Structure formats: structure tokens, C-alpha cells
Chain A
Amino acid sequence: MRAAFARVGFTQNQVYSISTYLNILAAFLFVSVQYYLWSAIFEHAVHGQYSLSDMLQYVLAAEVLSVCLHSNADRQLGQMVRTGSLAHVMLKPVAFTEQIFFESLGVNAYRLLFICVPLVLCSIFAFGVEYHFGPARLAGFLALAGLAYIFIYLFELLLGLISFFSVNTWGINSLKMAVITVFSGRFLPISAYPENFRALVDELPFKIMYFEPLNFLIKGGDWAGMFIRQCGWIAAAFLVVFYLQRALLKKMVIQGG
């Protein structure tokens, strides 16, 4: 059943082939903006832990993560609440949370193949970006990214539950993007943030989404420490989502179709 949901997610994307070409074009455009922007910035000496090559690897890998690491749980749940289809979904013998999770795995497998692979290939062959990490580093990164996926899913589920109160899922989505933009290291390694702001970001859980896996990939570091921290935040997020969901479903009112 779970594999079936993943297959549905994968094949939903496969219908129109022109989109594959446009995705390749989009990847090329993205890499070129990043390549030229960072090359221009690094023309003037930059003080920091990241060299130009490190920075390019970071922003490109961050893009790869952002393409694959989202479950869309917030949007999907919001849509289910707004249209009332949540009623049907809840009648199924599978929890709707599970359905969303496994469908998203399929969607992301598609995106990994058809958006990320072109992006990485384009960065290597068109722009000569070199990726320096070895297989061990990559394996460690993949484990951390896997946990980040679960955390992001829980975070999005939490936002989706907010749509029980407000039907503006687009607004909630923007809010999510705002949080991820500054607190997760999505666009810039947190180590390059100003000192006092970095101290604040360090206390928040969002850096486990992007910064910690990516920084490990490029710079290495205390893998076990990051792993434990991620597990801790996931457990906390799980409890919040679990109890909020239970409370909300008890009081739920379905909008008539």
C-alpha cells in the first residue's frame, strides 16, 4: 500500500515530457545565477570558512535538497480542509498523514531524477564545479538529509494543521518559506551569518533542515552530535504534531463539499 502511494506520486509527474526540458533549462539558469554571483563576490577577498568552491557546492547542494525535501503536507492538508475532501481521506483504512508522506516520497524520487540530476550534471559539465566529498562523507550526509526530511515533513504537517483555523494556505506557505530562508541555512551557510544572529539561529531547530547536513557534506564535523540533535528535535516535533492532531480531529468540522 505504501509503495503504491509512492508510485502514484512518481507517475503523477510523468505525464508531460516538455516539463522535463523546461526543468533542465531552469536548472541551467539557476546554476548560472549562482555561479556568476558567487564568483563575483569572491573576486574581492572574502573572510570566512568557505572558499568559492565550498560555497558553490553548498548553494547547489542546498538547491538539490530543497527540490527533494518537502512533503507539501501543509498544502495538501490545507486543500483537504478547504474542499472537505478530508472526510473521504479519513474514511480510508490508512492514516492521511501516512498517505501524504509516502506520496511525497514518490514525487521527490521523480524530482531527484528529473530536476536534481540535470542540475548537478549541468554544474559539473557546463560550469566546471568540482564536488570534493568522498563516499563516506556522502553516506553520512544522506543519513542526516533523511532525518531532515522527516523533520521537514513534521514541520509541514504542523503548518497544515494550522489550516484548520485559517484557509489561507498560500500565506502559511509564504511564512514557512520565510522561516526556512533565514533560519535553516537554505541560501547561505549559517557560519557566514553575523555573530549575534548566528547565536539566535543556533538555538532554533531549523538549522537541522539544511545547514547541518550540508555543512557536514562540505566541511565534515561531529556527525554523531548532529545525528543525536536531529533525533531529539524530531521526537519533539512528533509529540507536538501528534497531540495537536488528536485534539483538532476531535473538534473537526467538515466543510460541505
Chain B
Amino acid sequence: MAILSRYLKLYIVAGANNLKSLVVYKVDFIIGLVSMFLNNAMRFLILLFIFRLVDQIKGWSFDQMLFLYGFSTMVTGLWHCFFINVISLPYYVRTGGFDRFLLRPVNLLFQLTIDSLDEDGWGELLLGMILVLTAYFRLELPAAKLILLIPAVLSGTAVLIAVSLMLSSLSFVSVGGVPIMGLLVKMFEFTKYPVDIFGNTLKIVLSTVIPLGFATFYPGMMFLTENVALYLPLVLLFSAGYFMFSYFIWNYSLKFYVSSGS
């Protein structure tokens, strides 16, 4: 318990510092927020244009796709706000900044995530929420299920964190020059659409080895089907298990870390 409250305190201090740096550059903060929101909104506009061409994709209606797209935007937004620094690991390794973390008596992953919280993600999160709620009402989903959004979004985010964690562990093995961001952006594309449009082989890959299906599709199924009793435990157990597995891999790869000395 004492450890938990200590970490909470640290997080608050880091968050407050981050907020202070935002207040210094108020205009920049607003520019970042608005433009990130716009950027995502425009991507969504293109999807709207595509949907104008057809009324359904592989049996998925526009509103269902909207729900999944919004959910994906929310989950990536949350990841972007709080965990994006995981992918900066190559930078810390290359510049020797990681040595600084090793000297402190605080969990390494925790230090890495709080070293930079990214306010630009808030616009993404906001757009995601708007889209999800819009789809929710258009699909006339039961209001009682709304509470399930919280575990669904959290477990979805956990999967994204796990995937980014695994990729970032590569930089312990190879000294830093890993272009994780580009690869991750390409991977996250899979979370925007229903997994079953990608053909059987990829569907299996996306449900097991690179389980991006568990970031949005399976949590989304809690809402788009009646099968809550199946999907809720499945999603929670899988994301928790996968997250722990990736954390284990991360810790294991840490053994290969050699300081760059700079």
C-alpha cells in the first residue's frame, strides 16, 4: 500500500510538472490540441467518403464501423496521452538517458512513462468519445451497457501498451535505432476495422500473436453483440495476461541492455 501511494504521489508530481510546462506555452497547447483533433477528424472524414461508396462492408453497417473506429480512436488516444513515451525508449537508449533511470529506486517502466506525458493525445481521445457516443445512440444500444465502456477501453489500451512495450524491448537488444513509431502506426491501422475483413490467416494472427483484435474488435463485440458474458471475461483475462507477458519480455530484454556510454 505504501508503495502504491508513493507511486501515486510520483505520478501526480510528474503530471503537475507536465501541466506547468503546458501553462508556459498556452498557445502551443491549444494549437497541438486543436490540430490533433483536426487531423483525426479529417482521417475520419475520408472514412465517411469511403462509406458513401457502399452501404456496408462485409456485413458491417456504417454505425457499427463508426463504433469500432471511434473506440479505436479512444483507445489509441488514451495510449497516446499516458503511454506514448514507451516508444521513445530507442532515444533514451541511444543517448544514454536510460542510465539515469537505472540509478533511481523506482520501477523503470513507470519512470519511462512519466518522463513525458503527451497532451496532444487529448484531442484524439475527445474525438474518439464523440464518435463512440454518436454510434452508441444511433445503434440504440442499451444505456445500462455504457458502464462497460470503462473496462473495455482500459483493457483495449492495455493491449496497445503491451504491443508497444514488446516492440520497444527490441531497442535493448539493438542499440537504439529501431523505427518503432512507423511500424506501430501501421499496426494500429488494424484496430480501426473489424478483424474479420482481413481474411482468415490475418484474423488468427490478430487474435493471437499480434493481438490487436483485442484492442478494439473483441471489446467492441461486448456492445455490438448480445454476448457480454463471453466477451467481457475473455477480453479482461486476455489483455491482463498479454500485458503481463509483454512486461516479462520487457524485463527479460533489459538483461541485454548495454549502455551506449554517451
Q: Which A residues contact B (CB, under 8 angstroms)?
A: 15-16, 18-19, 22-23, 25-26, 29-30, 32-33, 36-37, 40-41, 43-44, 46-48, 166-168, 170-172, 174-175, 177-178, 181-182, 187-188, 192-194, 197
Contacts and interface: CB of A to CB of B under 8 A. Distances in A.
A23 B183 CA distance: 7
B53 A46 contact: yes
Nearest to A29: B186
A181 to B, nearest CB: 4
Nearest to B177: A16
B257 to A, nearest CB: 15
A18 B93 CA distance: 15
A174 B54 contact: no
A48 B53 contact: yes
A33 B190 contact: yes
Contacts of A32: 198, 202
15 contacts: A16-B174, A16-B176, A16-B177, A22-B182, A33-B186, A36-B198, A44-B56, A168-B27, A168-B29, A171-B31, A171-B35, A175-B31, A178-B41, A188-B50, A194-B52
Contact of B182 (A26, A41, A170): A26
Interface string B87-109: 00000000000000000000000
A154 B110 CA distance: 41
A10 to B, nearest CB: 15
Contacts of B198: 32-33, 36
A185 B55 CA distance: 22
Of A15, A46, A182, chain B has the most CB atoms within 10 Å of the CB of A182
A178 B176 contact: no
B15 interface: no
Nearest to A27: B186
A181 B39 contact: yes
B228 interface: no
Interface of B: 25, 27-29, 31-36, 38-39, 41-43, 45-46, 49-50, 52-58, 120, 170, 174-180, 182-183, 186-187, 189-190, 193, 197-199, 202
Nearest to A15: B177
B178 A19 contact: yes
Contacts of A170: 32, 120
A48 B49 CA distance: 12
A193 B32 contact: no
Contacts of B170: 18
A47 B178 contact: no
A18 B190 contact: no
A41 B177 contact: no
A174 B177 contact: no
Nearest to B58: A40
Contact of B50 (A41, A44, A166, A182): A41
Interface of A is mostly: helix
Contacts of A47: 53
Nearest to A50: B53
Nearest to A193: B49
Contact of B38 (A168, A175, A194): A175
A167 B53 contact: no
Contacts of A193: 49
Which are the 6 A-B pairs with shortest beta-carbon distances? A16-B177, A168-B28, A171-B32, A171-B31, A174-B35, A175-B35
Contacts of A197: 49
A18 B178 contact: yes
Contacts of B33: 171
Contacts of B53: 41, 46-48, 192
A36 B177 contact: no
A23 B179 contact: yes
A25 B39 contact: no
A16 B28 contact: no
A77 to B, nearest CB: 16
A44 B186 CA distance: 26
B181 to A, nearest CB: 10
A178 B39 CA distance: 4
A40 B176 contact: no
B79 to A, nearest CB: 17
Contacts of B31: 166, 168, 171-172, 175
A67 B42 CA distance: 20
Contacts of B36: 171, 174
Contacts of B45: 181-182
Given A33-B189, A166-B28, A171 B178 contact: no
B153 to A, nearest CB: 23
Contacts of A175: 31, 35, 38-39
B220 to A, nearest CB: 17
